[in-house]
C-alpha cells in the first residue's frame, strides 16, 4: 500500500491555481528527494518535477514543486484543460529500501 | 530517441509464471538503473523493483519479494522481470522505467508504454 498520502481529487477553473499535497514521513520525504508524475488518461506516467522542485526540459513553468519537512506540494498555475490528469508524488523510502508512490490525485478542470 | 518497449504480457493462470522484457534504445543502457512499476486496473501506481546499472543490486516491494526477479542483459539492452507464483492481485499494467542514475538511485525519468498482465483461471 502507498505510504505517501495525497488528496483523491482537486479541481479548478481555467486560469486558476491548484495545489496538491503529498504527506510522508522521516524515512521517505523527510530524508530524500521528491518527484512528481503526470498520467493522462490511458497513457504512461510522465516526469513532471524531480529533486523536489526541478522541471525537466519541456515541462511548462506553470508546474512547480516544493518540499518542507515530511511533506511536499505540487502547484499548477494558470490551469488548462489539458492538465486534467492523475498526479502522483514519489520518493525513495530508507526503511523499505524501495521507492514509494503517493495515492494519486485526480485533477479536474471545471 | 530514448525509447523503452515492454513485451511478454498476457493472460496466465494463478500459480503460473511469466517473463516480461523491456527493450531499450537511444541511450547507453548499461549506465542506468532500471525499474518496474505496475498499475492495477483503476488503481494507482505501485513501484515493484529496481536493478542497478550493472545488475549487482536489486530491491523489491514487499508484495513481490521472493516471487519476482528483476534482471538485465546489458549486451542486449534488455531488462527482464521473471514473475513466478502469480496471483490475481498481480493483474496490472507493468511499466519499465529508466532511473536517472546508475547507482545510487535517483528518479524515474523515462517510461515505456507498458504491457498488460492478467492473472485469471
Contacts of A43 in chain B (CB under 8 A): 113
Contacts of B45 in chain A (CB under 8 A): 37, 39, 45, 88, 90, 101, 104
Condensed to tens digits (0 to 9), the pLDDT of residues B17-64 reads: 999 999 999 999 999 999 999 999 999 999 999 999 999 999 999 999
CB B70 within 8 A of CB B50: yes
| A86 contacts chain B (CB < 8 A) | yes
Question: What per-residue confidence (pLDDT) applies to A92?
Answer: 96
| A35 contacts chain B (CB < 8 A) | yes
Which is nearest to B37 in space by CA: A39, A50, A82, A26? A39
Candidates A39, A44, A53, A93: best to mutate against B (most CBs of B within 10 A) is: A44
Condensed to tens digits (0 to 9), the pLDDT of residues A65-79 reads: 999 999 999 999 999
- The reply to whether residue A51 touches residue B61, judged by beta carbons under 8 angstroms, is no
| B73 contacts chain A (CB < 8 A) | no
Condensed to tens digits (0 to 9), the pLDDT of residues B81-95 reads: 999 999 999 999 999
Candidates B45, B60, B113: best to mutate against A (most CBs of A within 10 A) is: B45
With 80 as the cut, is the pLDDT of residue A46 above it? yes
Distances (CA, A) of B38 to A21, A83, B93: 23, 23, 5
* Pairwise CA distance, residues A16 & A61, whole Å: 15
CB A58 within 8 A of CB A50: no
Residue B103 pLDDT level (bands cut at 50, 70, 90): confident
Amino acid at each position: 500500500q502507498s505510504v505517501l498520502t495525497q488528496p483523491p481529487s482537486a479541481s479548478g477553473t481555467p486560469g486558476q491555481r491548484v495545489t496538491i499535497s503529498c504527506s510522508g514521513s522521516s524515512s521517505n520525504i523527510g530524508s530524500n528527494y521528491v518527484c512528481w508524475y503526470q498520467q493522462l488518461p490511458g497513457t504512461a506516467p510522465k516526469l513532471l518535477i524531480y529533486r523536489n522542485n526541478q522541471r525537466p526540459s519541456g515541462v511548462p513553468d506553470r508546474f512547480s514543486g516544493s518540499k518542507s519537512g515530511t511533506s511536499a506540494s505540487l502547484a499548477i498555475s494558470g490551469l488548462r484543460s489539458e492538465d486534467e490528469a492523475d498526479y502522483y508524488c514519489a520518493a525513495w523510502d530508507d526503511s523499505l529500501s524501495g521507492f514509494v508512490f503517493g495515492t494519486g490525485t485526480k485533477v479536474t478542470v471545471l | 530517441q530514448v525509447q523503452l518497449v515492454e513485451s511478454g504480457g498476457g493472460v496466465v493462470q494463478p500459480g503460473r509464471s511469466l517473463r516480461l522484457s523491456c527493450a531499450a534504445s537511444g541511450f547507453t543502457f548499461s549506465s542506468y538503473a532500471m525499474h518496474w512499476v505496475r498499475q492495477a486496473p483503476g488503481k494507482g501506481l505501485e513501484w515493484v523493483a529496481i536493478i542497478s546499472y550493472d545488475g549487482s543490486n536489486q530491491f523489491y516491494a514487499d508484495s513481490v519479494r521472493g516471487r519476482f526477479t528483476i534482471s538485465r542483459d546489458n549486451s542486449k539492452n534488455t531488462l527482464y522481470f521473471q514473475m513466478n507464483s502469480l496471483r490475481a492481485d498481480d493483474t496490472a499494467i507493468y511499466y519499465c522505467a529508466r532511473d536517472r542514475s546508475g547507482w545510487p538511485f535517483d528518479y524515474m525519468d523515462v517510461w515505456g508504454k507498458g504491457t498488460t498482465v492478467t492473472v485469471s483461471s
